[in-house]
Chain A
């Protein structure tokens, strides 16, 4: 019986794991959910290993994106375009 309860907690936690890792404003977990997830992670080696893996993977993917910072010249040309579009004499 205890194993079944534990398995259900794992399932419940896993359904919320990505949202727990991302903490995205469009899909926030409630405070109650966060507390329950944390409590389960503290007692479940399998789920805490999942979180560690996903977090490491997310961090690795993010590092690979660092090379695509927009070019400053492009940004300056676009800022000039904004000036041109928003100029009161345009219309």
Chain B
């Protein structure tokens, strides 16, 4: 092997490394808030969530060259979920199994200065009953509603976090919403004009 070919190999390795670093930054950095929110939901602790995301970043960097570029968020969330399972050596049965993430929730209703006092009271009642109804839901429905409706994940990303097919997310979401709506109508928090 000549000095010239060694130099070329080195240059090629440096270029690959630079590509890898650039791809990693471009894919991962915009997704940090989502990763942190998902990690918080999985670990229920801010410190553990940060540790989990750090470990996820390391694993994502190692795997970046195998990534096909489709759905980066879902790819990262799958790594996050698998990392969490490996770190805990067990699978958490469900997210929010005790609904504790809701203890410190501050309902955002009534903050709209344009709403009337009557509307604010209705919103407050809806908010209170939603929290009660949510806690009573089957955990399988609760975790999907939490990720999609509260955290704003799309179906594919929610499926990646939970490790289930998109169709399962859709069916659990539909059933969970229907049950929550039934609770809200029963408690008169929703008008339920036509049942």
Cβ contacts under 8 Å, B24 to chain A: 82, 85-86
Task: Determine which residue in A24, A54, A60, A75 has the highest number of CB atoms from chain B within 10 A of its CB, and name it.
Answer: A60
- Given A60-B109, A78-B32, the answer on whether A46 and B194 have CB atoms closer than 8 Å is yes
B108 x A63 contact (CB < 8 A): yes
- The answer to whether the Cβ of B94 comes within 8 Å of any Cβ in the partner chain is no
Give A68 Cβ to nearest chain B Cβ, in Å. 6
B130 x A61 contact (CB < 8 A): yes
A54–B28 Cα distance when bound, in Å, is 34
Q: Which of B101, B155, B174 contacts A24 (CB 8 A)?
A: B155
A64–B32 Cα distance when bound, in Å, is 21
Chain B residue with the shortest CB-CB distance to A77: B50
- Given A63-B108, A78-B32, the answer on whether A57 and B190 have CB atoms closer than 8 Å is yes
Mostly helix, strand, loop or mixed at chain A's interface?
helix
Q: Which of A19-58 contact B (CB under 8 A)?
A: 19, 22, 24-27, 45-46, 49, 53-54, 56-58
Task: Determine which residue in B14, B166, B190 has the highest number of CB atoms from chain A within 10 A of its CB, and name it.
Answer: B190
B37 x A70 contact (CB < 8 A): yes
B61 x A26 contact (CB < 8 A): no
Q: Which of B87-134 contact A (CB under 8 A)?
A: 101-102, 104-109, 123, 126-127, 130-131, 134
Task: Determine which residue in A18, A46, A57, A77 has the highest number of CB atoms from chain B within 10 A of its CB, and name it.
Answer: A57
Q: Which of B18, B28, B105 contacts A67 (CB 8 A)?
A: B105
Cβ contacts under 8 Å, A82 to chain B: 24-25, 28-29, 32, 57
- Given A27-B155, A64-B108, A68-B151, the answer on whether A85 and B61 have CB atoms closer than 8 Å is yes
Mostly helix, strand, loop or mixed at chain B's interface?
helix
- The answer to whether the Cβ of B54 comes within 8 Å of any Cβ in the partner chain is yes
Cβ contacts under 8 Å, A88 to chain B: 14, 17-18, 21
29 pairs across A/B with beta carbons < 8 Å?
A: A18-B174, A22-B173, A26-B154, A26-B155, A27-B170, A53-B191, A54-B177, A54-B181, A56-B126, A60-B126, A60-B130, A61-B145, A62-B152, A63-B127, A64-B105, A65-B149, A69-B33, A70-B33, A74-B46, A75-B33, A78-B32, A79-B32, A82-B24, A85-B24, A85-B58, A87-B21, A88-B14, A88-B18, A91-B17
Residues of A within 8 A of B (CB): 18-19, 22, 24-27, 45-46, 49, 53-54, 56-58, 60-71, 74-75, 77-79, 81-82, 85-88, 91
Besides A75-B32, A86-B20, A88-B14, 9 new A-B residue pairs in contact (Cβ under 8 A), listed by A number: A22-B148, A64-B105, A68-B101, A70-B40, A74-B36, A74-B50, A78-B35, A81-B54, A88-B21
